[in-house]
């Protein structure tokens, strides 16, 4: 089983969604955690848009990188540019980076913000589906 950590700035949205999708597509074959350079709380819009497609993130909690278990990481994946630059070094066999837009930055009505979260969710879903296929095939 591969140990994967997904890092983002505040562990409130993109890293949480990525963790959920990697677990979903990994079907128990991946050990996945997410964390941030700081912790906040999981964004309610992230929970809502994942629930729309049948993935429950209600029990997810935000964590800081220094709260992660001390295990040997196979993959450290960063999902935003600021964390790639500011993140403390996470020892892992492989480091990957794929930046996604931060939907928290979206201004407008709740519906417009929700749509932004859906767009990012769908982009992360495609990325995680493809990544999981590669990881399980290795």
Is the CB of residue 35 less than 8 Å from the CB of residue 64? Answer: yes
**Does residue 13 carry a catalytic annotation?**
no
pLDDT at residue 138 in the model: 66
Q: Which residue has the higher pLDDT, 25 or 38?
A: 25
What's the chain's average pLDDT?
93
What range defines the domain where residue 78 resides?
A: 2-137
DSSP 67: G
SS3 87: coil
H/E element, 103:
none
The residue annotated as part of the active site, out of 4, 6, 8, 124, is 8
Neighbours of 39 (CB within 10 A): 17
List pLDDT tens digits, range 71-129.
999 999 999 887 666 666 788 999 999 999 999 999 999 999 999 999 999 999 999 99
The residue annotated as part of the active site, out of 80, 83, 124, 131, is 80
CA dihedral 9, 69, 16, 55 (to 10 degrees): 180
pLDDT at residue 123 in the model: 98
The residue annotated as part of the active site, out of 32, 65, 75, 87, is 87
For residues 49-64, give the mean pLDDT. Answer: 96
DSSP 58: T
**Does residue 128 carry a catalytic annotation?**
no
pLDDT at residue 89 in the model: 74
**Does residue 87 carry a catalytic annotation?**
yes
The number of distinct structural domains making up the chain is 1
The CATH number assigned to the domain holding 87 equals 3.40.50.2300
């Amino acid at each position: 089983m591969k140990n994967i950590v997904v890092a983002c700035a505040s562990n409130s949205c993109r890293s949480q969604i990525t963790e959920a999708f990697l677990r979903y597509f990994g079907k128990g074959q991946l050990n996945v955690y997410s964390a941030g350079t700081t912790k906040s709380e999981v964004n309610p819009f992230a929970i809502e848009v994942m629930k729309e497609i049948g993935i429950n993130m209600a029990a997810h909690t935000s964590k800081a990188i220094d709260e992660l278990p001390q295990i040997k990481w196979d993959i450290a994946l960063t999902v935003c540019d600021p964390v790639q630059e500011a993140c403390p070094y996470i020892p892992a066999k492989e480091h990957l980076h794929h930046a996604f837009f931060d939907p928290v930055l979206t201004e407008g009505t709740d519906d417009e913000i929700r749509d932004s979260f859906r767009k990012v969710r769908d982009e992360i879903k495609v990325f995680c589906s493809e990544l999981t296929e590669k990881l399980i095939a290795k």
